[in-house]
Structures are given as C-alpha cells and as structure tokens.
Chain A
C-alpha cells in the first residue's frame, strides 16, 4: 500500500456542487498538508495541520475547508465548486523539523464544469 493514499484519483463535478477529497497516510506523521498544482504556477499550499487539533490556512484557502479526522486522515472540501478550482490536488505528510522531506500522494485531478 502507498504511504499516502488519495481518493478519488479523478473527479468531474458541476459548478456549485460540494465535493470532498480524502487523504490517509501510514507514515505515522503528525503533519499533513493539502496543495494545489496548476500548470506554470507550481505548488500552492491550501491548508496544513500539525496535529489533530491544529488546522492552519495556507496561501490560497478561500473556497476550501478541511477536516482532520484522525492522525492519519485529512480531508479537503470544496463547499461550492467553481471552474477555477479545476486543478491537480496533492496531499502530503512530513515529520517535524526542517530536515524532513515530504511524502506526497498520487494526486486527485479535479475538473469543475
């Protein structure tokens, strides 16, 4: 099994619909993150969580919400999807400290029509 599992892998949804992207990890890390990837823009941080009771906004949190259900689970919701939220979404986890790299999931390709 993958260290970080994201579901679904692909999703097409309509404007105005609520959608949830799920992420689970088996690394045993406390820190989890949600990123968005757009062509030419690299990765942008949406939300991050350093433990179950800790949720923090990233640089582009508007229009998104998150839930940390357990140490291993971190879900991202789009309450009312809009077309410019069409992107590739990645979940990641890391240990604490600056020398830890990230472990990423395989991504969810979301299309809002």
Chain B
C-alpha cells in the first residue's frame, strides 16, 4: 500500500537558518503531494501542494518540489523564524481508486531558537 516516510524529529535550528525536512513516498502512479503544518494547540493547516511531477508548491517562504525519480517531496525554507516552530506533516493522495483518502507521514517537529 501507499506510505509516506518523514525524517525523525525534532529538528532544532537557530533563527535565519536553512530548513530541510525530508519526505519520501511509496505509491502507484502519480499521487498528489501535500505539506501540512500544525502549530501548538491547533489543527493541521494545508501549507502547500504539488499535483504532478516537477511541480513546485510554495507558500509563506516554504517550497517543495515533486520529484518522481526519487519519489520525494522535501520541504525547504531559506530562513526560518521562531514563528515557524510547529509540527510538519507530509501527505499523499493516491492517483486512482476513487476515494483519494490521503496517507500521512508521522510528522516532524521543528523548533526554532532566537
């Protein structure tokens, strides 16, 4: 079945550092790929998405590129802020099947220090 693997956290960075959170997936065909962010005490929010190979999703300074050849969708940001501290979830929605129920990764906690 489909699966999503994220790097273990927590990831701890200083403010203005470069961020990469790795995400790889296993799925048939060309799924849609998503990153969600969960701030403390809140629900998940859609951060960005990419729906076909080589697409780049971007939002709030975050970017991720859909890499079919490496089955990856790594999240990056050039300069993190304390306010980016949150848990980040990678997810895929299958290419076929009708239900399109997404598969989520286990989440990666990001802690940014001033």
A contact residues vs B (CB 8 Å cutoff):
4, 40-43, 45, 48, 50, 90, 92, 96-107
Contact = CB atoms under 8 A, between A and B. Distances in A.
Given A104-B45, A105-B43, A107-B43, A97 B104 contact: no
Contacts of B49: 99, 101
16 contacts: A4-B43, A43-B89, A90-B43, A92-B43, A98-B93, A98-B95, A98-B100, A99-B32, A99-B51, A100-B100, A101-B34, A101-B49, A102-B36, A102-B102, A106-B42, A107-B43
Q: What is the predominant secondary structure among interface residues of chain B facing chain A? A: loop
Contacts of A96: 100
Nearest to B92: A98
> Which A-B residue pairs are the 9 nearest by beta carbons?
A104-B43, A101-B46, A42-B106, A98-B93, A98-B100, A104-B44, A98-B32, A43-B104, A106-B43
A106 B40 CA distance: 10
Contacts of A100: 93, 100
A90 B44 contact: yes
